[in-house]
Structure 1
Amino acid sequence: MKFVSSQIAFFFQKRDTKTNFRSLAKFLIALILLVTVYSLLFHLIMLMEGRDYTYVTGFYWTLTVMSTLGLGDITFETDLGRLFSIVVLMSGIVFLLVLLPFTFIQFFYAPWLEAQKLSKTPRELPAAVKDHVIIVGYDKVMDTLIEKLISYNTPYYLLISDQARALELHDLGFKVVLGDYDDPQTYRRINGNKALLLVAAQNDMVNTNITFTFKEVAENVPVVAMVKSEDSIDILKLAGCDNVIYLPSMLGQSLARRTMGESARVHVLGRIDELIIGEAPVLDTPLVGKTLASSRMREIVGVNVIGFWERGKFQPPHPDTVINEHTILVMAGTIEQLRNYNEYFGIFHAVEGGVMIIGGGRVGRACAKALEVRQMDYVIVEKNPAYIKNPDKYVLGNAADYHVLKKAGIDKVHTVIITSNEDEMNIYLTLYFRKLRPDLKITSRSTLERNVSTLHRAGADFVMSYASMGANAIFNVLENNDVLMLAEGLNVFRYETPRKIVGKNLIETAIRKKTGCSVIGIQKDDKIEINPQPEKPFEENTVMILIGTLDSERKFISYMSGK
């Protein structure tokens, strides 16, 4: 009933509704007058033939003839009457079978359908709506962001300017509002001043306009904008954008972070305050062949092993887990603890050779720049001559051509980073490289999340998703938080300690067993207790720092919220 009332409201709010009704009424009046005249003429001609019928019969005959039913129960006997019947029949075809349907559709049915569409994509939100995220535009990054917002029970609304696109997204189950991006009234109607965040996901020029217009309405609400070009960053900041995200650079740096150096030293992936997350290969170290318990790493160097990488698959730690030569340890600790690890195990030689980057686009160049900072040798294979900047570091050709790869040193590199934005090409190349070099470490970019598992099956050790990285970056701004993406589907994140577990310890809550997430730190005020003891109870006003897959994170949130 509420849906029907909203349709009626939209129908009568349209400016041309009265005009349409007036036109429809004029046609119906003309049709009634015509039927009345024909009925009177019917009486006159029948009287001329010596027959008398009631007025009701006259209307009955006129309507049956005009509608082409022609029951034949009442007929004229003279030529005049028959000619009159032909005139009534022909005019009935024109008025009832052609003009009436056309007029009804044009002035009533089509506007009513339009009102139904508008009721699905409203132009304003109820005044009570607040603490919501406004997303201007929709793409694969926004789709991933929406999933994350839903899992954290954060309301969102997609602002779309094109009605057909808005209806399409509404039918897919998204919350959509319709409005012009450059109109301040649009943001007033969707309670922009009560929002938590606005995300601009159009092209750079439109994002600049969106930011500038929105800040006129909601000066204190933060704005995040996605940019396609580095040159637009400063312009967007001038327009009032609080956070500008240049994903190609972020993705390139993350792909480079997945690359090990030429020793077994810890490679830092990221940090949350003083908590450092790193990983280290164990090839040719004394750890090979030992279990996690017998290695006694926590007792010797103080680091906490929070997981293992086995050919791109993350495994949670277990005391009986055997460390083999292909294992990559994921560990958490302070800077001092990681230095202790390097002193014990970093002296062992792990790999030789450099890194091959496939693709010299924005992501590939950002990846090369990050490797240069680490003083790691690399070569870029690029088939487009326009992208070649430094001939000493580039090889021109197709990465699917073995002779090109041979020239680039495929036999000498220890890692290949695939940066193409075409997932089909990345899957193809991953299979190809795994066939050429079974011992090669392969890190690949994935544009669509659905292809991540396919890339792993093809042989990729690590996959970084463009969409997940963008969604996490935006979510960090929203939560004023640090969600560290170690690899596709594996995050380090914070969660405020709920009352239901205050006074209980890790053993009693069984967080890892029930959700798959591991608690690697407890933050209280500005201090972080790294690798908390399992017997220590949780305290009030603390924040847990956890590591887990996306599925584990969802289970953890559901478990803590009691769902």
Structure 2
Amino acid sequence: MSLWRSRRVGSYLALVAGTTVAATLLYNYGMATWENDPQPLYRSLEVVFQTFTTTGYGEDAPWSTPQMNFLMIGLQLTGIGLILTGVDIFAVPWLRSALATTAPTTASDLEDHVIVCEYSPRGEAFIEELESRGQDYVVVESDEETALELHETDRRVIHGDSESTDVLEEAGIERARAVVADAADDTNASIVLSAREANAEVRIVTLVEDQRLGEYHRIAGADKVLSPRQLLGESFAHRVPTAVTTAVDEGIEIGNDLELVELSIAEGSDLCGRTADAVGLRDRFGVDGIGAWFNGDFESPIPPDRDLETGTRLLVAGEPDRIDELRAEAASTVHPFAAQSVVIAGYGEAGAAAGNALAATNTRVTVLDSDDKDGVDIVGDARDPETIAEAGIDDASAVIVTLDDDTSAIFTTLVVRDLNPSVDIVVRANDTENVQKLYRAGADYVQSLATVSGRMLASTVLEDEEVLAVDRQIDVVRLPAGELAGQTIVGADVRSRTGCTVLAIVRDDETITEFDPSEFVFEAGDEVVIAGTDESVRSFETLFLD
């Protein structure tokens, strides 16, 4: 019982006792004075109890004087009030407890499942991937309220301490295929030790915020340690134009003669302001337009009548030399070969990784953080316009925002865009749901930490899935063909049903990039390389892999 409940019950019992004593004395006085019928106190106490409990009045009723009748009316009302108060204090909490929904504490029916220790936005993206694949899982959540919320939204969850071997055994660790630790770095190490004790053979994957601590996860027994913040920071650095590189996509190699590339339409380029149909990606350049981002929204296929404005990003696939021709025409964010100035707001794991990657160039990097630590040039709040101005926003060619709080990142983006309308803003979103807010605030490129983490986990835990681009806004993944066997791409209507584009087919370890979508028939054992948003890839998995 909580301290508040204890005090409430104590106060109620004191009220009942005090009211009973006062009523007994008053009734005894009334019978002696008004009714001229003196009686012992114990008899007056009996009458008071009869009145409070509404069981009757005994031999004293009726009373002849108005004073006693009014007194008895008061005692009756007092008794009803005490009863109702008692119901609220004792009966209502008991009923709530008896009828309340509680999160389970065991998952005895699962087998060959994945155990996710602690729930987070990073784990949410992974859970959605597991559900789309029909892969059983259970979340072990130590916070009772969070566990209940997950249970009520039909997530498979048990409530308990994920560092406890007993709880992990209740989660079925002896039958599990993998354990994913997604808590704080020190907690993850404890989870690994417990999991290894409970099942020496289970595969254990951890997520680490501070890459330096990853080695201790391995010492504890982790099979794989993932550092999405480090990867995301390095990826952001590659998005920034420098004096020796340009901010063009390095490309995802699908086969020997096929690349998937993201590139931007630069202001003043030959493609800027023209419609997708007029550009003629296939006829003029010999590449396939997979889709395009317009103001942060991905559209696939590219609407033929849509204007390609400055900043529009194309996702295209083709032979490397044909891609190079398109790059030249798009002049995709190529900057003069002069030293560039970049501001990094937020110097955690991702910010430090971006700074280290940019250190290999002659880029002038200014680091802004709220804490005074090694590597920080300006100490202050990134949301403060004066602090941003002190960091050199007027002369900056790009700003990388890697703050731990999305609300702060959104406000910082608004401030930066107001102070320098032409600067490139690259932002990390911690939660996927805030990506579009950041684009509306003025960001040029946003990537979600949750999305990157989910892809890394899926590629590591699911043996038949290989994510080829974990740090891109588009998901490129190699999957079994599944129920596509015996069908063609056109016959299965893959693109319109899922939103995915089939880039290549892998058959007998050979990657086939040239095929007729209406003639090529899939065979059992084939694999497909598809590109699409995370949602469209999950649609493909649901339709063809369940």
Partners of 2:50 and 2:57 within 8 A in 1: no
Partners of 2:179 and 2:205 within 8 A in 1: yes
| Residue number among 315, 332, 336 corresponding to 2:317 in the alignment | 332
Return the offset for 1:74: 6.6
**Structure 2 counterpart of 1:534, which letter?**
P
Aligned counterpart, 1:123: 105
Partners of 1:360 and 1:387 within 8 A in 2: no
**Structure 2 counterpart of 1:380, which letter?**
T
Partners of 1:358 and 1:418 within 8 A in 2: yes
Map 1:146-165 to 2 at 5 A.
146-161=127-142, 163=144
Residues 147 and 416 of structure 1: CA distance in aligned 2, closer, same or farther (over 3 Å): same
1:370 equivalent in alignment to 2:336 = no
**Structure 1 counterpart of 2:521, which letter?**
F
Partners of 1:351 and 1:414 within 8 A in 2: no
- Separation in structure 2 between the aligned mates of residue 427 and residue 556 of structure 1, nearest angstrom: 32
How many matched pairs?
Answer: 471
Map 1:243-282 to 2 at 5 A.
243-260=224-241, 266-268=248-250, 270=252, 276-282=259-265
Return the offset for 1:455: 1.2
Residues 194 and 436 of structure 1: CA distance in aligned 2, closer, same or farther (over 3 Å): same
- Separation in structure 1 between the aligned mates of residue 332 and residue 448 of structure 2, nearest angstrom: 32
CA shift digits 1:513-557 (9 cap, x unpaired): 333222222222323223644334231122222222234334444
Partners of 2:107 and 2:138 within 8 A in 1: no
Partners of 1:361 and 1:387 within 8 A in 2: no
Residues 323 and 384 of structure 1: CA distance in aligned 2, closer, same or farther (over 3 Å): closer
| Residue number among 195, 204, 225 corresponding to 1:223 in the alignment | 204
List gaps (5 residues or longer) in structure 1: 1-60, 77-96
Structure 1 length as normaliser, TM-score? 0.70
- Separation in structure 2 between the aligned mates of residue 411 and residue 267 of structure 1, nearest angstrom: 26
- Separation in structure 1 between the aligned mates of residue 219 and residue 502 of structure 2, nearest angstrom: 41
Aligned CA RMSD, in angstroms, stands at: 4.1
**Percent of pairs identical after alignment?**
26
1:386 equivalent in alignment to 2:367 = no
Aligned counterpart, 1:476: 459
CA shift digits 1:118-161 (9 cap, x unpaired): x84343323x4212221111222223332332233222212134
Aligned counterpart, 1:206: 187
1:519 equivalent in alignment to 2:502 = yes
CA shift digits 1:33-72 (9 cap, x unpaired): xxxxxxxxxxxxxxxxxxxxxxxxxxxx99x959844435
Aligned counterpart, 2:450: 467
1:137 equivalent in alignment to 2:122 = no
- Separation in structure 2 between the aligned mates of residue 321 and residue 350 of structure 1, nearest angstrom: 24
Partners of 1:281 and 1:350 within 8 A in 2: no
CA shift digits 1:357-388 (9 cap, x unpaired): 22223221111223334x36242341446234
Aligned counterpart, 1:357: 344
1:494 equivalent in alignment to 2:494 = no
Partners of 2:51 and 2:57 within 8 A in 1: no
1:417 equivalent in alignment to 2:404 = no
Structure 2 length as normaliser, TM-score? 0.72
1:542 equivalent in alignment to 2:518 = no
CA shift digits 1:228-274 (9 cap, x unpaired): 32232111112211121223212212322433456778422655676
**Structure 2 counterpart of 1:330, which letter?**
L
Residues 542 and 410 of structure 1: CA distance in aligned 2, closer, same or farther (over 3 Å): same
Aligned counterpart, 1:510: 493
**Structure 1 counterpart of 2:506, which letter?**
Q
- Separation in structure 2 between the aligned mates of residue 166 and residue 313 of structure 1, nearest angstrom: 33
Aligned counterpart, 1:431: 414
Partners of 2:231 and 2:471 within 8 A in 1: no
Return the offset for 1:442: 1.8
- Separation in structure 2 between the aligned mates of residue 477 and residue 122 of structure 1, nearest angstrom: 28
Return the offset for 1:503: 4.3
| Residue number among 71, 75, 91 corresponding to 2:56 in the alignment | 71
- Separation in structure 1 between the aligned mates of residue 255 and residue 167 of structure 2, nearest angstrom: 39
Residues 532 and 436 of structure 1: CA distance in aligned 2, closer, same or farther (over 3 Å): farther
1:312 equivalent in alignment to 2:299 = no
Return the offset for 1:212: 1.9
- Separation in structure 1 between the aligned mates of residue 390 and residue 165 of structure 2, nearest angstrom: 57
| Residue number among 145, 169, 172 corresponding to 1:188 in the alignment | 169
Residues 371 and 301 of structure 1: CA distance in aligned 2, closer, same or farther (over 3 Å): farther
List gaps (5 residues or longer) in structure 2: 1-45, 62-81
- Separation in structure 1 between the aligned mates of residue 166 and residue 156 of structure 2, nearest angstrom: 19
Q: Larger deviation: 413-422 or 321-330? A: 321-330
**Structure 2 counterpart of 1:259, which letter?**
V
Aligned counterpart, 2:431: 448
- Separation in structure 1 between the aligned mates of residue 283 and residue 417 of structure 2, nearest angstrom: 38
CA shift digits 1:262-302 (9 cap, x unpaired): 67784226556766433233435444465556656557765
Partners of 1:333 and 1:531 within 8 A in 2: no
Partners of 1:360 and 1:388 within 8 A in 2: no
